[in-house]
A = this chain, B = another copy of it.
Amino acid sequence: MIKVIILGAGNVAFHLTTNLLKNTEVKLLQVYNRNIEKIQYLKNQTSITDKLTELKNADIYIIAISDDAISNFSSKLKLKNKLVVHTSGGTAMNELQSNSNKGVFYLVQSFSKERKVDFSKIPICIEAETDTDFKLLKKLAKSISNNIYPVNSNQRKSLHIAAVFVNNFVNHLYYIGHQICEEDKISFEILKPLILETANKITYLKPINAQTGPAMRNDMKTIEKHKTKLTSNQQEIYTLLTKSITKTYGEKL
């Protein structure tokens, strides 16, 4: 049994806690949070604490707190010869300031507390300073998911940026689509199957081969017609993305 302590009570910590409590290969020894109220619901299932001095003796300490707090928080941990990891996509391993062994345990998914998560399909990107620690993290990861990837800090930074494009920015385009529909009293329901199919397509086609639409066809007549209907902000985005698509496929011709 791998002995694990989770530090934090945000979305990632919450879902990871839920998973590890049911995980037969892991003993969730303790959950720490600076505000004990948020983890009171766990008191019958594991040890809880709001004092770093009371941390138990575990194999892996998982810091699952907001990115910008990781460095400072980790500097307060006195856990020599222990493995301390964070779960952040946007934070290098070396931003951990503990005097312990360092590692990263990055779950590539967008979590929200209301939504149940199928952990078995979540890609887990791991990194460690030593082979021994890497193997330990891999063992933990495998007890949670079937998709484990070794990803170093430099790669993870890029991965995190790519995630901003395919998740945050994509959602913003959904928002703009929603806005345009509302403006003309069109049900956004009409677009949902298209949105799902667009996402599903890239599971079997490379995005470059899945592209369709007026920009790709360089259909200037349609493009100009579209622009007249948009607000200046929408128009700016339409123009830039159209230019980028035209350039992408122009270069390939």
Which of A172, A202, A215, A245 lies at the interface centre, i.e. has the most chain B CB atoms within 10 A of its CB? A172
* Interface residue? A22 (CB, 8 A): no
* CB-based closest 6 A-B pairs: A168-B213, A199-B199, A175-B207, A174-B207, A162-B177, A166-B177
A170 at the interface (CB under 8 A from B): yes
Query: Is A129 at the interface (CB under 8 A from chain B)?
Result: no
A–B pairs, 24, beta carbons within 8 Å: A109-B194, A123-B189, A123-B193, A125-B190, A151-B190, A155-B186, A161-B238, A162-B186, A163-B191, A164-B213, A164-B214, A165-B176, A167-B194, A167-B195, A167-B213, A169-B241, A170-B170, A170-B195, A171-B210, A175-B208, A192-B202, A192-B203, A196-B203, A237-B240
A23, CB-defined interface residue at 8 Å: no
Interface contact A190-B108, CB-CB below 8 Å? yes
A172 cross-chain contacts in B, Cβ below 8 A: 207, 211, 215, 241, 244-245, 248
Tell which of A78-86, A136-144, A222-230 binds the partner. A222-230
CB distance from A184 to the nearest CB of B (A): 4
Whether B123 pairs with A161 at a CB distance below 8 angstroms is no
Contact of A247 with B by CB under 8 A: yes
In the assembly, what is the distance between CA of A208 and CA of B188, in Å? 13
User: Which of B147, B157, B166, B199 makes the CB contact (< 8 A) with A229?
Assistant: B157
User: A residues engaging B (CB < 8 A)?
Assistant: 67-68, 90, 108-110, 115, 121-123, 125, 147, 149, 151, 154-155, 157-178, 180-181, 183-187, 189-203, 206-208, 210-216, 219, 221-222, 225-226, 229-230, 233, 236-238, 240-241, 244-245, 247-248
**B171 lies within 8 A of A195 (CB):** no
Q: Are B180 and A194 in contact (CB under 8 A)?
A: no
Given the complex of chains A and B, what is the CA–CA distance between A191 and B200 in angstroms? 12
With A110-B197, A154-B184, A157-B225 known, 16 other A-B pairs at CB within 8 A are A108-B193, A109-B197, A123-B191, A147-B193, A158-B229, A161-B180, A162-B181, A165-B176, A166-B194, A167-B195, A168-B211, A170-B170, A170-B173, A170-B199, A233-B247, A236-B244
Determine whether the beta carbon of A183 is less than 8 Å from that of B158: yes
Asked if A212 and B110 make an inter-chain contact with CB atoms under 8 angstroms apart, the answer reads: yes
Residue from the list B166, B183, B194, B196 in contact with A191, Cβ < 8 A:
B166
